[in-house]
Amino acid sequence: MREANLPNLKLVGTTSASGGRFGNVKITGEASLTGDVECRSLSCTGTADLKGSLTADTFKLTGECKVGGDMRSGRISAVGDIEIAGELHGDRVKLTGDVRVRGNGEAESLQVRGGLTVEGLLNAETIELRMLGPCRAKEIGGGAVSVKRSRTSVFKMFTRGNVGLQADLIEGDILELEHTRAAVVRGNRVTLGPGCEIGRVEYRGELSVHGRASVQERVKL
- 12-66: pLDDT as tens digits: 999 999 999 999 999 999 999 999 999 999 999 999 999 999 999 999 999 999 9
Measured CA to CA, the distance from residue 112 to residue 129 in angstroms comes to: 5
DSSP conformational letter for 163: -
Q: In the predicted model, is pLDDT for residue 161 greater than 60?
A: no
Measured CA to CA, the distance from residue 163 to residue 169 in angstroms comes to: 19
What is the maximum alpha-carbon separation in the chain? 61
Q: What letter represents residue 117's amino acid?
A: T
Q: In the predicted model, is pLDDT for residue 159 greater than 90?
A: no
Name which of 18-27, 84-93, 104-113, 153-162 the model is least confident about: 153-162
DSSP conformational letter for 87: -
Identify the pLDDT of residue 153: 42
DSSP conformational letter for 213: -
Q: In the predicted model, is pLDDT for residue 154 greater than 50?
A: no
Measured CA to CA, the distance from residue 194 to residue 211 in angstroms comes to: 7
Would you mind telling me the total number of residues written for the chain in this entry?
A: 221
Identify the pLDDT of residue 162: 81
Identify the pLDDT of residue 152: 66
Identify the pLDDT of residue 2: 59
Q: What letter represents residue 38's amino acid?
A: E
Percent of the chain with pLDDT over 70: 94
Identify the pLDDT of residue 92: 97
3-class DSSP assignment, residue 188:
strand
User: Dihedral angle at the C-alpha atoms of 122, 124, 129, 134, nearest 10 degrees?
Assistant: 0
Q: In the predicted model, is pLDDT for residue 158 greater than 50?
A: no
Q: In the predicted model, is pLDDT for residue 213 greater than 60?
A: yes
Identify the pLDDT of residue 4: 67
Identify the pLDDT of residue 56: 97
Q: What does the mean pLDDT of the chain come to?
A: 94
The pairing of strands 71-84 and 54-67 is parallel
Of 10, 13, 18, 48, give the one whose Cα is nearest residue 36: 18
Name which of 3-12, 76-85, 175-184, 186-195 the model is least confident about: 3-12
Measured CA to CA, the distance from residue 4 to residue 7 in angstroms comes to: 9
> pTM of the predicted model, to two decimals?
0.92
Contact 49, 63 (CB under 8 A): no
Q: What letter represents residue 192's amino acid?
A: L
